[in-house]
Amino acid sequence: MIEFLLALAVALILIYKAGDIFVDSARRIARALGVSTAVIALTFVAFGTSAPEFFTSIIAALQGNVGISYGNVVGSNIVDITPILALAAIFGVASIGREQFNEGLIMLFTGVALVLMALNGTIGFVEGLILLAVFAFFLRFLFKRETRRGREQITGERREFWSSLLIFTIGLLGVILGSYFLVYSGVGIAKLMGVPEAAIGFTLVAIGTSIPELATILISISKKLYEVSVGTIVGSCIFNTTFIIGWAALLRPLTIDSQGLFFSNPIMLVIMALLVGLMWGRQRLTRGHGLALLLFYVFYLVGLWFLYRG
């Protein structure tokens, strides 16, 4: 057990440190290319914070640990929306614009699509291709909108592009290594505790891979970056559901256990729908909304405990 706990500690430290470097350099690259703050939050930062989920799910799929691959994504979506975005709401930095509401609808659509595909207990090659196609259409929609607006020219940061790209690569390598240790420790702990690997995927691994999202929200709180929080979380969920599951399913069919089908999948949809409902007609999420989201996550953890304890 000590070996796996050490591997877990190394994984969390690597993901936290390298993830912070990865996200910050991705933001600098985007700004150097003249991309708006809102789009940076929804794409570059969201994709950067989802890098641990991506590499963890891919490594797990390659190793045959498909329960971790799927559980990591669904669990991360739930973690991102409930305790992490809840913090932003509680501290008053979860602002909402009309465009973010529309993107929330896209997030809910991708969640519904994933749950429907999973009803037969497997996400296979064809479903993976469909999810990747949805992701491609989302990117096309996003950048067409950005083109219609016109690009922000931030020439002062263009000089930093190549240095940021180098730092981005270093951070990426750290995230990959941390993801490997996270899968290794998660599988080992699951075997020692005698629980399904999916249980670890939905909880321990999902929380571990969501550390960069948490770090981004904490930065948003400290620097009052009102446009970043909701956009980053919504973008991460879309990225997780389409790009990560899509690629993992191309590598190996992903099987979903009964808990995932009848509890975690519906909980993910309810939380996504709740978030979209809270976003409708509002300019920001309030402290009360944040507390409600936190309580929802407590309910989810209690439910998992009852379902997996036998």
The answer to whether residue 152 is domain-embedded is no
Top pLDDT among 176 and 266 is at 266
The answer to whether residue 252 is domain-embedded is yes
Predicted confidence at residue 153, as pLDDT, reads 46
For residue 154, pLDDT beyond 50: no
Predicted confidence at residue 4, as pLDDT, reads 80
Q: What percent of the chain has pLDDT over 70?
A: 84
What is the pTM (predicted TM-score) of this model?
0.82
Predicted confidence at residue 1, as pLDDT, reads 73
**In which band, very low, low, confident or very high, does the pLDDT at 307 lie, cut at 50, 70 and 90?**
confident
For residue 213, pLDDT beyond 90: no
Question: Which tokens go with 197?
Answer: 């690997």
The answer to whether residue 103 is domain-embedded is yes
For residue 156, pLDDT beyond 50: no
For residue 152, pLDDT beyond 60: no
Q: Beta-carbon neighbour count of residue 54 at 10 Å?
A: 22
The answer to whether residue 232 is domain-embedded is yes
Separation CA 226–CA 164 (nearest Å): 24
Structural domain of residue 171, as residue ranges?
2-147+158-308
For residue 76, pLDDT beyond 80: yes
Q: What is the mean pLDDT of the chain?
A: 82
Top pLDDT among 78 and 5 is at 78
Predicted confidence at residue 140, as pLDDT, reads 84
Predicted confidence at residue 28, as pLDDT, reads 75
> How many domains are there within the chain?
1
**In which band, very low, low, confident or very high, does the pLDDT at 150 lie, cut at 50, 70 and 90?**
low
The answer to whether residue 216 is domain-embedded is yes
Predicted confidence at residue 240, as pLDDT, reads 92
The answer to whether residue 122 is domain-embedded is yes
Place of tokens 């009102």: 226
The answer to whether residue 153 is domain-embedded is no
What's the CATH code of the domain at 67?
Answer: 1.20.1420.30
Place of tokens 């932003």: 88
Q: Are 276 and 105 in contact (CB under 8 A)?
A: yes
Tell me what the mean pLDDT of segment 98-108 comes to: 86
Query: Within the chain, where are the H helices?
Result: 2-32, 37-40, 46-49, 51-62, 66-79, 85-90, 98-117, 125-149, 161-193, 197-200, 206-209, 211-223, 228-238, 245-251, 258-259, 265-279, 287-308
Predicted confidence at residue 249, as pLDDT, reads 94
Tell me what the mean pLDDT of segment 150-165 comes to: 60
Tell me what the mean pLDDT of segment 202-229 comes to: 74
DSSP state of 95: B
Predicted confidence at residue 63, as pLDDT, reads 85
Q: Are 36 and 222 in contact (CB under 8 A)?
A: no
The answer to whether residue 228 is domain-embedded is yes
Q: Are 2 and 155 in contact (CB under 8 A)?
A: no
Predicted confidence at residue 291, as pLDDT, reads 93
DSSP characters for 182-226?
HHHHHHHHHHHHT--HHHHIIIIIHHHHTHHHHHHHHHHHHHT-T
